[in-house]
Amino acid sequence: MNEVLLKYLPEQAAKPCFELIKAHGVHLKIVNHRVTRHGDYRKMPNGGHQITVNASLNKYRFLITLVHEIAHLVAFEQFGRRIKPHGVEWKRTFQQLMLPFIRPEVFPSQLLPLIANHFKNPKASSSTDARLSIALQAFDPEERQKSYVFELPMGSTFRLYNGKLFKKGKKRVKRYECIELTTGRLYLFQPNAEVELVKE
């Protein structure tokens, strides 16, 4: 298992992650790319714990995702199953589990301040932290890199992963108004939503 983890994680994070997996009896499945999620945690009918993480993630996002999902397991075990999935208990657990990894031996220096800032109040997904998400994307393989909504010119057309086409409109406070071309409906997009530019 440790050898497998070395393929997906920063070298200095592999052993501590293996220890976490062992200590909590996690069955880790590394799965094909899913657009809608980086990973998930499930308590199995037999009482075991299954965590899945996308194989396509770069090693820094893989680490954050794996620890995120282990934090669900630990928070449910400590505080009971009635807690909110991304509530205060989970946030504290995630912070505690992540703390040993927030160091220069694990993360590149340009990511450390953004990660430290993110973990002051971790979100349900690192993707909703636009600055961190953009910084993490720089470590994706070339073929995985896409455009972000905030980078596109106003009025340009872009495609989502599901094939739907949108036209970029003006920025509200944090998000962009975009019109779906087939229905004319208005949607709000996070600035760091990954899309494919069709035409400017």
Which pLDDT does position 199 carry in this prediction? 73
Which pLDDT does position 33 carry in this prediction? 74
Which pLDDT does position 145 carry in this prediction? 52
Q: Are 40 and 69 in contact (CB under 8 A)?
A: yes
pTM: 0.78
| 197 beta partners | 158
The residue ranges of the chain whose pLDDT is under 70 are 1, 34-35, 142-146, 200
Which pLDDT does position 108 carry in this prediction? 96
Which pLDDT does position 38 carry in this prediction? 87
- 72-123 pLDDT tens trace: 999 999 999 899 989 999 999 999 999 999 999 999 999 999 999 999 999 8
The four Cα atoms 40, 33, 168, 135 give a dihedral, to 10 degrees, of 80
Q: Quickly count: other Cβ atoms within 10 Å of residue 55's Cβ.
A: 13
Which pLDDT does position 62 carry in this prediction? 95
With tokens 């229905």, the residue in question is 183
